[in-house]
């Protein structure tokens, strides 16, 4: 099945500081490509994979689940670890949850975590309906392109497969249980107005991790896909500053 234009994965070989970027549910690398390009232009090694079932047609996503998505980023992290002395994990929305689980499970192999509008909960009513509803309704309305900036759009699915959504609900439960295992420095950037993920998810994450080096930034002019919105440059600059600060500290401590 051909990949949608703009949804292609990206890999850039740079310095011994690596960054893994994880896109969101029903989205594609397109939503994070400007972020990836920003980091690559500054010499970092960057990996931006396409998650299984994404970037083609929503029916392909319907036959995948969270273990498939996580296995992809887990493999990318291991490959970056073979190439780089330090690896940072970043993500948008569900990609933020993937990044946090990588940090929880890989410990010192992850030097820091930067997430944008990270998701950690599933809407209650929809979640209660999914165990049975997914057999009655194959898909629901999509959640892409929640962007305030005029003329900006996100490449993704217009439909959300309910079987995959059910798996996503289960994944968030797994991530919430593992959040106390996250000890790495953490940067959380979240929009004040988000029509996909409530700001309370960021608060839940900040209150559950065991990290002591924590930075929270509120994005005032963007909606959910802040990496394509008015605050994109701030996301890029803040994350780059976060990464370089930690990388320099570790290098100095050798």
Which pLDDT score is estimated for 128?
45
If pLDDT is split at 50, 70 and 90, which confidence band does 252 have?
low
3-state secondary structure of 223: coil
- Residues of the chain with pLDDT > 70: what percent? 92
**Separation of CA 244 from chain center:** 20
- Its pTM surpasses 0.85: yes
Distance CA 225, CA 117 (A): 8
Q: Show Cβ contacts of residue 53 under 8 Å, excluding neighbours closer than 6 positions.
A: 60, 61, 62, 63, 64, 68, 69, 164
Which residues define the annotated binding site?
25, 94
Residue 186 pairs in a beta bridge with 113, 214
Q: Among 43-47, 129-133, 182-186, 199-203, which is the least confidently predicted range?
A: 129-133
Closest alpha carbon to 170 in 65, 27, 28, 50: 65
Distance CA 37, CA 56 (A): 22
Distance CA 30, CA 33 (A): 5
pLDDT tens figures, 75-130: 999 999 999 999 999 999 999 999 999 999 999 999 999 999 999 997 654 544 55
Query: Is the pLDDT score of 168 beyond 50?
Result: yes
pLDDT tens figures, 21-68: 999 999 999 999 999 999 999 999 999 999 999 999 999 999 999 999
Q: At which residue do the structure tokens 């029903």 appear?
A: 26
Which residues define the annotated binding site for substrate?
25, 94
pLDDT tens figures, 139-159: 778 889 999 999 999 999 999
Residue 10 pairs in a beta bridge with 48
Q: What share of the chain is helix, strand, coil (3-state, %, to 5)?
A: 45, 15, 35
Q: List active site positions.
A: 93, 194, 224
């Amino acid at each position: 099945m051909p990949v949608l234009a703009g949804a292609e994965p990206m890999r850039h070989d740079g310095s011994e500081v690596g960054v893994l970027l994880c896109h969101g549910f029903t989205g594609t690398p397109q939503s994070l490509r400007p972020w990836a390009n920003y980091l690559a232009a500054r010499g970092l090694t960057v990996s931006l994979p396409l998650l299984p079932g994404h970037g083609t047609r929503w029916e392909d996503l319907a036959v995948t689940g969270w273990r498939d998505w996580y296995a992809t980023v887990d493999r990318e992290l291991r490959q970056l670890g073979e190439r780089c002395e330090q690896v940072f994990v970043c993500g948008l929305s569900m990609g933020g949850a993937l990044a946090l689980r990588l940090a929880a499970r890989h410990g010192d192999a992850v030097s820091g975590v930067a997430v944008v509008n990270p998701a950690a909960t599933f809407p209650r009513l929809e979640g209660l309906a999914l165990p049975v509803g997914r057999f009655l309704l194959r898909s629901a309305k999509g959640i892409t392109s929640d962007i305030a900036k005029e003329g900006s759009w996100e490449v993704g699915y217009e439909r959300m497969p309910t079987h995959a959504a059910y798996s996503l609900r289960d994944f968030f439960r797994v991530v919430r249980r593992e959040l106390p295992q996250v000890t790495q420095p953490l940067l959380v950037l979240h929009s004040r107005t988000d029509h996909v993920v409530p700001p309370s998810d960021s608060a839940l994450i900040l209150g559950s991790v065991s990290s002591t080096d924590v930075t929270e930034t509120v994005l005032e002019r963007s909606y959910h896909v802040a990496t394509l919105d008015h605050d994109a440059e701030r996301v890029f600059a803040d994350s780059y500053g976060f990464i370089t600060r930690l990388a320099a500290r570790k290098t100095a401590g050798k």
